[in-house]
Structure 1
């Protein structure tokens, strides 16, 4: 439901900002969840092989990676709301193409548009929330709870969307002649597996309307196209300096890269395992929808447990280490159970799938809490874009590798080794960063170890 914009010069209170951040996170990721259960299976039904599908996802990841730093400065220059709305419009077009396209070039175009939207959306909503809270309560305000709630909303949206996306084609198949009528009425463009993508396009329209009405921002100096483009080289250089000059930021970027490797393996390989187990694409979509829903609920649970994990571990760094260890264990279980369908192996595989998302949920908010206390408002969206850049680049490479490697335990175990190696970097605590006027690093030191505590999707 739209909310009136706050009067100029008067910010929202943290509780209202948190609620709106949660709604924006939910609406953005709901249509993406609706396409998860059917995406790989839809492309397979259109006649695409696994290597081609891996190439489609690589187009998404590489486009997002190429645009991350240039578009990160857009949010800092022209405002969070305009950039988020643009991302929603691009996603709307992409989902429409996925639902109607039968040619590879159209799918590639849709993936490129979605990759552009991913780059545009990787920082503005979270940056808007942090800016709003800081404006009301100061730079020392607690961010963990709000960031954890936003991460949980993302996971809940993905869980619900996956259930809807996996169940709708199956339900259409149950109706007498419903699937045939749908295909004939659309001239073969719309099939049951493409319905979730088309519904996702409608949800994106709702997302755009909510963003434009519910995210007030203080007035900004007028920005020209020339001025914004002129900031791109400086934004790219500043983003690259993050990892080059700051050991803590470097670990955060490597952690995001490891998450990309884990997610690439899970998202590419699991749907095929589900379809092979069930015997048909539609039944496989239902099974994968239930599995993915459980995984996202595990991620939501992990996000909720993230502040507690930081307190128990006595630092966010150790909480990230624990989360990475859980992810590596889950990937290992998925790898060693490949090819086996006995009840013990199936239970272990399902448990491993849940552990991957639980670990990512625990590590995410703790990683981002470390990041937000390391950067200031002027470069916050850029910093989040650098983090997303690391995830997207590695996800693209890992997806291509998983699509070309022989099916079996090897892709899973390689991903587990990468995640574990990066997690072990957090065994040693990073030294506090010194303020640098020429960097996007914040001038305030990170919070005290006793209250350290929080990678969103």
Structure 2
């Protein structure tokens, strides 16, 4: 008789797989735009490539969530990792626009596939061991912390690696590497190649460390019938259940706030330093600090819930802290000088600290309202709400006049999201595992997870 995977082990493996997924993102993030422009692309072409990525993620978000609910978490996560290996390799070695477009398509598909299955695996595993009332916040917080730490670590390493290698035209390791490959591999390519290697390790870890209950073989017929039905079930949850709808609206508010910060903060940093190059360095430091604040907020999410009296009050308090940070950014945008800049940096930290604390508490409520049959789909709907609202908010912020107004609009959106949690709503009991419609297979009976 195989043992159930205990919650402590599941929590540790969920944090590990989250860290391994996000570390490559942090590695290639600082050098991505610079590498593309070094290949001869203009900023308009780079923006077009990013649009390809965003559209791919948005289009595939719900189908891939439904696929995970039908065929299983591990297979979808492994496929996401394999696509990311191919995408990063093509991205850092590609020299034509078509090759780079294909890389962005693969990268977007990998991102969509990975949105939800790991967290759904963790919740399924813990509830299989300890029942529907099992504590989820600690593991969700650990996953949020692992994500933020991976991004912070990767950003620092990815920014430092090309500098350590030296310029492609020099006599150091970077120059020798570029000459040996006829310019195919540049120093700016190194973080992406390292990220691809980490992705390969991620695939191996997923296949060996994330066991799940056996499922009936997924045939083409079950996939074609089960995925659309599961997507429909997930969308109906957002319409019919007040708490799930509240989580989705909050995700949209958070997406609007984050998109505004990411759009406006780099330019504000450049204006403070007086040059784009030094502004980019300052923003990289701020971004790393923001990731660390998110990690601290996620780590403290269970404590916030205990002090606030539950997950819903904790979400209210945490989002209010983020909203206060945005208000501080908005007020200081009207002034110059060192003192307002220090206050603005504090506001930046509050935004990410509050977001980190809010996420695990909101998802704790979400997972208690959805069953295993639609869990990954519900997470995909949540991600889609965040990304869609972020895209719209980015356009709005870009059209608004520079100064405090865009920041204040984003702050109001986030505070409105926080206010949604002022009215108490109890989670609706989730259906038993496998009981949801549209799964394409009968509920499991008597399966257990292998031990570590």
Query: Is the shorter-chain TM-score for this pair beyond 0.5, marking a shared fold?
Result: yes
Give, in whole Å, the separation in 2 of the partners of 1:397 and 1:49.
24
The Cα of 1:180 is off from its aligned counterpart by 4.2
* Residues 50 and 440 of structure 1: CA distance in aligned 2, closer, same or farther (over 3 Å): farther
For residue 133 of structure 2, the aligned residue among 133, 140, 143 is 140
Q: Deviations over 1:186-229 (max 9, x none)?
A: 43444443432222111111111111111112211011122112
Q: Deviations over 1:386-444 (max 9, x none)?
A: 11111122223334444566654444333223212222221212255477899679xxx
- Please, what TM-score do these two structures have when normalized by structure 1? 0.85
1:451 is matched with none
* Residues 338 and 198 of structure 1: CA distance in aligned 2, closer, same or farther (over 3 Å): farther
The Cα of 1:280 is off from its aligned counterpart by 6.8
1:131 is matched with 124
Give, in whole Å, the separation in 2 of the partners of 1:104 and 1:336.
42
1:203 is matched with 198
Alignment of 1:301 with 2:284, yes or no, is no
1:426 is matched with 421
2:142 is matched with 149
Q: How many residues align?
A: 434
* Residues 212 and 47 of structure 1: CA distance in aligned 2, closer, same or farther (over 3 Å): same
Q: Is the 8 A contact 1:37 1:285 kept in 2?
A: no
2:337 is matched with 342
For residue 225 of structure 2, the aligned residue among 216, 221, 230 is 230
The Cα of 1:302 is off from its aligned counterpart by 0.5
Q: Is the 8 A contact 1:17 1:129 kept in 2?
A: yes
Give, in whole Å, the separation in 1 of the partners of 2:92 and 2:336.
33
Give, in whole Å, the separation in 2 of the partners of 1:188 and 1:271.
30
Deviates further, 407-416 or 215-224: 407-416
Alignment of 1:320 with 2:315, yes or no, is yes
1:455 is matched with none
Give, in whole Å, the separation in 2 of the partners of 1:285 and 1:320.
32
For residue 375 of structure 2, the aligned residue among 376, 380, 389 is 380
2:164 is matched with 171
Q: Is the 8 A contact 1:27 1:157 kept in 2?
A: yes
Q: Is the 8 A contact 1:78 1:223 kept in 2?
A: yes
* Residues 440 and 372 of structure 1: CA distance in aligned 2, closer, same or farther (over 3 Å): farther
For residue 333 of structure 1, the aligned residue among 315, 320, 328 is 328
The Cα of 1:26 is off from its aligned counterpart by 0.6
Q: Is the 8 A contact 2:115 2:380 kept in 1?
A: yes
Structure 2 unaligned residues grouped into runs of 5+ = 439-452
Structure 1 unaligned residues grouped into runs of 5+ = 1-7, 442-457
* Residues 66 and 281 of structure 1: CA distance in aligned 2, closer, same or farther (over 3 Å): same
Q: Is the 8 A contact 2:229 2:437 kept in 1?
A: no
2:353 is matched with 358
The Cα of 1:142 is off from its aligned counterpart by 0.8
1:446 is matched with none
Q: Is the 8 A contact 2:167 2:175 kept in 1?
A: no
For residue 10 of structure 1, the aligned residue among 3, 6, 29 is 3
2:207 is matched with 212
Q: Deviations over 1:336-386 (max 9, x none)?
A: 444866211321222122111101101100000000110111221111111
Aligned-residue Cα RMSD (Å) equals 2.9
2:104 is matched with 111
Q: Deviations over 1:51-90 (max 9, x none)?
A: 6555443433332222122111221222211110111111
1:4 is matched with none
1:5 is matched with none
Q: Is the 8 A contact 2:83 2:110 kept in 1?
A: yes
1:371 is matched with 366
* Residues 67 and 388 of structure 1: CA distance in aligned 2, closer, same or farther (over 3 Å): same
- Please, what TM-score do these two structures have when normalized by structure 2? 0.86
Q: Is the 8 A contact 1:275 1:284 kept in 2?
A: yes
Q: Deviations over 1:154-178 (max 9, x none)?
A: 1111110111112223333489633
Q: Is the 8 A contact 1:262 1:416 kept in 2?
A: yes
Deviates further, 403-412 or 125-134: 403-412
* Residues 168 and 436 of structure 1: CA distance in aligned 2, closer, same or farther (over 3 Å): closer
* Residues 85 and 281 of structure 1: CA distance in aligned 2, closer, same or farther (over 3 Å): farther
Give, in whole Å, the separation in 1 of the partners of 2:276 and 2:70.
45
Deviates further, 65-74 or 333-342: 333-342
